[in-house]
């Protein structure tokens, strides 16, 4: 059996998972790929770091040239993250005819075209299943299994860290900080968790998914983004009263040929399957015009789930044939030119939590402004002591409105003497067709 040498760039959470899977599932991998796979070099920054896996010391290097100049290394697995030097190392590896597997959504979403074009021009394979939703085969699903469909909409919980944090806040009353610490310890969070909690990671992933599902190039800046740092336990309690759950939802819709892409905390009905996706699990609901509704569910982060996607990509490369000179690009993101619908044009329902002075006429003034902007109310809850001079919480839930109407109405509501603060605004999604 032919031996094939692989190099790993990075031995952190994902690299460790890849190592463990190659070690524990060796027989399956050899039989399924038809090759005797061997990791022959691993690039890290710090050679002496304790890694938690039993890797022979002689495999570890801090010199990328040892990998680049070794012609016997056929596949480079990039699991180091960040833009540079990951981009440079992948470009140089492809120039030398090495195939690539990567989990780097940040780089793919912001500079993927250069990498795809390089792979095409050098006739090498470029696989990136682990870049979206960890162990869930969503890239393969869209690129291969759903190509008969016109995809109309997708809704995803595609960041494990934020879903873990929101789950812990909702179910165990943990503080945001305690929950984030747990996600970092479990290896779900990015090296800089700002990327998770401020929604950048989900924004990158939604850009990748949208580009594949709609066969179009996506500028990541066109994906509207909000993180979860403004979500408080009190919002989750109100959500419960409204029979809703709060999730960081990634949404893409094709509305009459215009793409609407957004990542933001969203209240969704408690009885919707996405509301029951907890912990580091991810889920993507795809609506295709032939297949109907299709849901993917699985672990979206962590060493073994992500390693599962990376090693499967590596096996695919081996099965497709590392010696083949007829390698076809699988990336078809320039088939259509789609216009973008900006966030101001989005239609949604809204939860608005305010702090107001408790005196007659407050609600009348607020509803008057909403009415002037053609926004109708679905429900109102007021909580707090009716003590002179003290603030009370007034929560409003609107019917469907256009975002620009809400923005304009909120500007006017802020001007009211009795409204001291708009504490939070969360969009509500009830999965109705437009």
> Closer CB to ligand HSE, residue 14 or residue 346?
14
Binding partner of residue 13 among ligand HSE, ligand NAP, none, CB cut-off 5 to 8 Å per kind: ligand NAP
Kind of pairing, strands 281-288 and 292-299?
A: antiparallel
* 91 token code pair: 């470009």
Is residue 10 at the binding interface for ligand NAP, with CB under 6 A as the rule? yes
Q: Determine the interface stretch with ligand NAP among 28-36, 41-49, 287-295, 413-421 (rule: CB under 6 A).
A: 41-49
Is residue 190 at the binding interface for ligand HSE, with CB under 6 A as the rule? yes
User: In the range 298-317, which residues lie near ligand HSE by CB under 6 A?
Assistant: 300-301
Known catalytic residue: 319? no
Q: Judging by beta carbons within 10 Å of its beta carbon (0-12, 13-18, 19+), is residue 13 exposed, middle or buried?
A: buried
> Closer CB to ligand NAP, residue 68 or residue 401?
68
185: left (phi over 0), alpha (psi -120 to 50) or beta: alpha
* 30 token code pair: 């050899």
Binding partner of residue 159 among ligand HSE, ligand NAP, none, CB cut-off 5 to 8 Å per kind: ligand HSE
- Shortest distance, CB of residue 27 to ligand HSE, whole angstroms? 28
User: What angle is formed at CA 195 by the lines to CA 172 and CA 17, rounded to 5 degrees?
Assistant: 75
Is residue 196 at the binding interface for ligand HSE, with CB under 6 A as the rule? yes
Binding partner of residue 187 among ligand HSE, ligand NAP, none, CB cut-off 5 to 8 Å per kind: ligand NAP
- Shortest distance, CB of residue 189 to ligand HSE, whole angstroms? 5
- Shortest distance, CB of residue 242 to ligand NAP, whole angstroms? 32
The catalytically annotated residue of 205, 287, 338, 349 is 205
Maximum Cα–Cα distance across the chain? 84
d(CA 50, CA 72): 28
User: In the range 72-91, which residues lie near ligand NAP by CB under 6 A?
Assistant: 79-81, 85
Signed CA dihedral, 183, 312, 42, 22: sign only: positive
Q: Determine the interface stretch with ligand HSE among 54-62, 92-100, 186-194, 417-425 (rule: CB under 6 A).
A: 186-194
Nearest to residue 353, comparing CAs of 385, 381, 387, 384?
Answer: 381
DSSP assignment letter at 173 = -
- Packing angle of the helix pair 233-241, 160-172 (nearest 10 deg): 70
Is residue 19 at the binding interface for ligand HSE, with CB under 6 A as the rule? no
User: In the range 109-148, which residues lie near ligand HSE by CB under 6 A?
Assistant: 134
- Please tell me whether residue 284 adopts helix, strand or coil conformation: strand
d(CA 310, CA 103): 7
Give me the active site residues, please.
205
**Binding residues for ligand NAP, per CB under 6 A?**
10-15, 43-46, 49, 79-81, 85, 103-105, 130, 134, 187-188, 190-191, 301-302, 306
């Amino acid at each position: 059996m032919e031996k094939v040498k692989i190099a790993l760039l990075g031995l952190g959470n994902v690299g460790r998972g890849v190592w463990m899977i190659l070690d524990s599932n060796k027989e399956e991998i050899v039989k399924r790929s038809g090759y005797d796979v061997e990791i022959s070099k691993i690039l890290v920054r710090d050679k002496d770091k304790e890694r938690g896996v039993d890797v022979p010391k002689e495999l570890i290097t801090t010199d990328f040239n040892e990998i680049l100049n070794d012609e016997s290394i056929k596949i480079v697995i990039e699991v180091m993250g960040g833009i540079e030097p990951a981009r440079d190392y992948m470009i140089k590896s492809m120039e030398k005819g090495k195939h690539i597997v990567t989990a780097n959504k940040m780089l793919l979403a912001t500079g993927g075209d250069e990498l795809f074009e390089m792979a095409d021009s050098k006739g090498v394979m470029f696989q990136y299943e682990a870049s979206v939703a960890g162990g869930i085969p969503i890239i393969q699903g869209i690129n291969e299994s759903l190509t008969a469909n016109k995809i109309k909409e997708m809704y995803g919980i595609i960041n494990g860290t934020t879903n873990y944090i929101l789950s812990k806040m909702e179910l165990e009353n943990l503080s945001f900080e305690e929950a984030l610490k747990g996600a970092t310890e479990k290896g779900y969070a990015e090296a800089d968790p700002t990327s998770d909690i401020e929604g950048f990671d989900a924004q990158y992933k939604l850009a990748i998914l949208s580009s594949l599902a709609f066969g179009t190039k996506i500028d990541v800046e066109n994906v509207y983004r909000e993180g979860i740092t403004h979500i408080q336990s009190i919002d989750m309690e109100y959500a419960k009263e409204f029979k809703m759950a709060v999730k960081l939802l990634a949404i893409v819709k094709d509305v009459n040929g215009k793409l609407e892409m957004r990542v933001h905390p969203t209240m969704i009905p408690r009885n919707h399957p996405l509301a029951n996706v907890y912990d580091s699990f991810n889920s993507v609901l795809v609506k295709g015009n032939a297949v109907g509704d299709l849901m993917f569910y699985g672990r979206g982060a962590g060493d073994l789930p992500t390693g599962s996607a990376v090693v499967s990509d590596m096996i695919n490369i081996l099965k497709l044939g590392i010696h083949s000179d007829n390698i076809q690009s699988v990336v078809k993101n320039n088939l259509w030119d789609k216009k973008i619908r900006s966030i101001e044009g989005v239609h949604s329902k809204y939860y608005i939590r305010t702090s107001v002075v408790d005196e007659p006429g407050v609600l009348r003034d607020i509803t008057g402004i909403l009415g002037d902007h053609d926004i109708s109310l679905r429900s109102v809850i007021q909580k707090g002591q009716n003590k002179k001079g003290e603030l009370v919480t007034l929560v409003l839930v609107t019917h469907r409105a256009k975002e620009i109407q809400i923005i304009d109405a909120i500007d006017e509501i802020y001007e009211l003497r009795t409204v001291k603060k708009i504490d939070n605004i969360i969009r509500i999604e009830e999965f109705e067709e437009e």
